[in-house]
Amino acid sequence: MSNTPASKTFTLTDDDNGQSWQYPVLEGTAGPGVIDIRKLYADTGHFTFDPSFTATGSCKSRITYIDGEEGILMHRGYTIEDLAEKSNFMEVAYLLLYGDLPNQKQRSKFDHDITYHTMVHEQINYFFRGFRRDAHPMAIMCGIVAALSAFYHDSLDIWDPDQREISAHRLIAKIPTLAAMTLKYSLGQPFMYPRNDLSYSENFLYMCFGLPAEPYRINPVLANAMDKILILHADHEQNASTSTVRLAGSSQANPFACISAGIACLWGPAHGGANQEVLEMLDQIGTKDRIPEFIEKAKDKDDPFRLMGFGHRVYKNFDPRAGVLKKACDEVLNDLGINDPRLELAMELERIALEDEYFVERKLFPNVDFYSGIILKAMGFPTSMFTVLFAVARTVGWISQWKEMIEEPALRIGRPRQLYTGPAKRSYVPVEDRD
Ligand code: SDX
């Protein structure tokens, strides 16, 4: 980010008295500049008003850049297409956390550090018994991840860089173990302990689908697809759940509690919960001949139904992740010899929607959630686990954004204001005198 004096300013003028104020424009490496309005309230006695933050920059960040018009997604300057094709999730995790791709030595140390944190305290197993077997896995993850702060008192000091790093490693390492335990608990199967001889993605599949009664064979196509899915979901600028993590972190809450807050926000169907909703929507549509009926429902303002997996606050072009996922979908289904009619249905739905004026006019394209559910289903995950897998991947993005915020000089608590539209001041009326 440039720290040189602003070359451009915006002037705000009060039309009632002609008073005006100048606000500097801060320019970044790429993308729109920002108008620095931090002095606006002191100058004018007014707040800005942007309830869903459609035009608000909440922070400076060096981690992820999105160009919604061009459908560009970069992590630390590397395009998501390059990372998905040429890298792997552990490398991308290192890149997000530390800012550069690791050399061989850094890579080996990071792999070792993460691998040797994958086990969870044995007491955590007992938390699961408090949940019904049919509890939604995201409900369990919200609770269990926050509870990690009850076990790791040695890494809760957010001002100590070493403790921040240990907490980050613990979260990245343990989130797949906890996610797999959540799946096993719902199935009534025993928890599978992590194995240090497996890669991150292989280990996750092993803990999810392995059984103590027989050896588990790693399918390299599935492990590769899992790794790609994790890369594609790892970080995405200041989305709702990342902003939740940052806001929680601004109060100096411990990192485990902040990540739990991010998981809670991600659960929403408008956000990470959409991948589960997409599959349920495809099952609801059922056959191609019913697609027009659902397209009309999605366009009907009186009908709350939306085409799940379509549209995005930032992308007004194809979500670059959807294209990579669609290709991975074909590979997984072909390798497994699965002919999932939902894939055909999804592709037909995409074709019809992208020819429909309503979607074209509003630039509603398939997003990351549109194809991910089909792959995850083919890999054997129940629909209820889809958003948990999103959280497994996004944890490295959340903790990288949290770390970046904590390392910013002069961290301040985030505290938005409002436009008050409630009753004017009025006197208290005793209950006997009320109508
Ligand atoms: C993720 O932010 C991120 O980066 C998120 C994410 C990440 O990696 O973190 O990318 C992950 O959350 C992807 C999005 C997953 N959600 C869904 O697929 C749910 C379905 N999509 C939407 O509900 C919606 O598109 C949002 C929530 C994604 C975006 O909502 P916005 O930006 O607030 O857009 P909007 O609701 O104002 O929609 C603009 C117009 C409206 O119509 P008009 O009022 O202009 O007539 O488009 C319509 C909307 O009704 N619209 C849809 C639609 N999405 C938007 N109409 C039908 N179906 C849809 N899916």
Q: Is 35 in the pocket of ligand 1 (CB under 6 A)?
A: no
Please provide the size of the chain in residues.
435
Strand partners, 35: 25
Determine the 3-state secondary structure of 221 from DSSP: helix
Strand partners, 12: 21
- Kind of pairing, strands 78-79 and 9-13? unpaired
Q: Is 210 in the pocket of ligand 1 (CB under 6 A)?
A: no
Q: Whose CA is nearest to atom 42 of ligand 1?
A: 362
Q: What are φ and ψ of residue 326, in 5° steps?
A: -65, -40
Q: How far apart are CA 267 and CA 400, in angstroms?
A: 20
Cα–Cα separations (whole angstroms), residue 19 to 11, 14, 41, 176, 254: 10, 5, 14, 57, 45
Sign of the dihedral through C-alpha 50, 52, 54, 60 = positive
Residue keyed to tokens 């998981």: 263
Q: Is 233 a catalytic residue?
A: no
Tokens describing residue 269: 């169907």
Supply the mean pLDDT for the chain.
Answer: 95
Cα(391) to centroid(ligand 1), Å:
19
Q: Is 373 in the pocket of ligand 1 (CB under 6 A)?
A: no
Strand partners, 13: 20
Q: Is 316 in the pocket of ligand 1 (CB under 6 A)?
A: no
In angstroms, what is the C-alpha Rg of the chain? 24
Cα(274) to centroid(ligand 1), Å:
10
Q: Which atom of ligand 1 is nearest to the CA of 311?
A: 25
Q: Whose CA is nearest to atom 44 of ligand 1?
A: 301
Q: How far apart are CA 259 and CA 244, in angstroms?
A: 9
What's residue 2's pLDDT?
A: 47
Q: How far apart are CA 407 and CA 395, in angstroms?
A: 18
Enumerate residues 6+ apart whose C-beta is below 8 A from 382.
183, 186
Number of helices and strands in the chain (H, E): 18, 6
Strand partners, 11: 22
Q: Whose CA is nearest to atom 13 of ligand 1?
A: 271
Q: Is 369 a catalytic residue?
A: yes
Tokens describing residue 109: 């140390």
What's residue 142's pLDDT?
A: 97
Per the residue annotation, which of 312, 330, 335, 340 is the catalytic one?
A: 312
Q: Is 362 in the pocket of ligand 1 (CB under 6 A)?
A: yes
Cα(306) to centroid(ligand 1), Å:
9
Tokens describing residue 188: 């009534």
Residues of the chain with pLDDT under 70: 1-6
Q: Which atom of ligand 1 is nearest to the CA of 309?
A: 18
Cα(365) to centroid(ligand 1), Å:
10
Q: Which atom of ligand 1 is nearest to the CA of 235?
A: 8
Q: Is 368 in the pocket of ligand 1 (CB under 6 A)?
A: yes
pLDDT digits (tens, 9 = 90+) for 114-156: 999 999 999 999 999 999 999 999 999 999 999 999 999 889 9
Q: How far apart are CA 218 and CA 361, in angstroms?
A: 45
Q: Is 80 in the pocket of ligand 1 (CB under 6 A)?
A: no
Cα–Cα separations (whole angstroms), residue 336 to 138, 221, 370, 413: 28, 9, 20, 50
State the CB neighbour count (10 A cutoff) for residue 288: 14
pLDDT digits (tens, 9 = 90+) for 296-355: 999 999 999 999 999 999 999 889 999 999 888 888 999 889 888 998 899 999 999 889
Q: How far apart are CA 378 and CA 266, in angstroms?
A: 23
Q: Whose CA is nearest to atom 52 of ligand 1?
A: 306
Q: Is 312 in the pocket of ligand 1 (CB under 6 A)?
A: yes
By most ligand atoms within 8 Å of CB, the mutation choice from 53, 63, 310 for ligand 1 is 310
Q: Is 238 in the pocket of ligand 1 (CB under 6 A)?
A: no
